[in-house]
Structure 1
Amino acid sequence: MAQTLVNIRMDEELKKNMEQVCQELGMNMTTAITIFAKKMTREKRIPFEVSVDPFYSDSNIAQLRRGVEALNAGKGIEHDIITVD
């Protein structure tokens, strides 16, 4: 089968992190992207869920900023660390 060159741009840190994960899995980025392309082509969909993390919603970010402002003003409330099992 004939090969073709595909160029993509991504953040330098993202590329470095992806290369590290690929290395840990015993493959290179070309193999990983080829696996993605074959699965997407076969299933005719993105092979994982794509969604927006609700943590980054406007209302949550505003709440976090208010908390940071309160802490910086010395008005913060200390809480115990919560662990999720």
Structure 2
Amino acid sequence: MTTTNLNIRTDKEIKDQAERIFSELGLNMTTAINIFLRTTIRENGIPFALKLDTPNSLTIRAIEEGRKIAYDDTVKGYSNIDDLKKALEV
């Protein structure tokens, strides 16, 4: 396989942000671009989103609240749906 150089111009901050994400995914810029190009050819178009699942601030707060409730012995728990409905007056 013969290789060639690909020179592109992009905003420095965009490049830096992408490199941080690729690094978290265990990739470098060259590997990430090659994945994109090969998959584009295979799919005959822009084929995929490669991203980290990062919860937004509301979801993070909900997770933290759920964890606090799960470990708080003073919070009433329910072992069946009928008891829960009764408590909620549904």
TM-score, normalised with respect to structure 2:
0.52
Structure 2 partner of 1:40: 40
Runs of 4+ in 1 over 4 A off after TM superposition: none
Question: Where does the alignment leave 5 or more consecutive residues of structure 1 unmatched?
Answer: 50-82
Question: Where does the alignment leave 5 or more consecutive residues of structure 2 unmatched?
Answer: 50-57, 63-90
Aligned length: 52
* Cα RMSD, aligned residues only: 1.9
Higher alpha-carbon Rg: 2
Mapping 1:1-85, distance limit 5 Å: 1-48=1-48
SS of match in other structure, 2:39: helix
Q: CA deviation at 1:47?
A: 1.1
The percent of aligned pairs where both chains have the same amino acid is 48
Greater relative contact order (Cα < 8 A, sep 6+): 2
Q: Deviations over 1:45-83 (max 9, x none)?
A: 11148xxxxxxxxxxxxxxxxxxxxxxxxxxxxxxxxx6
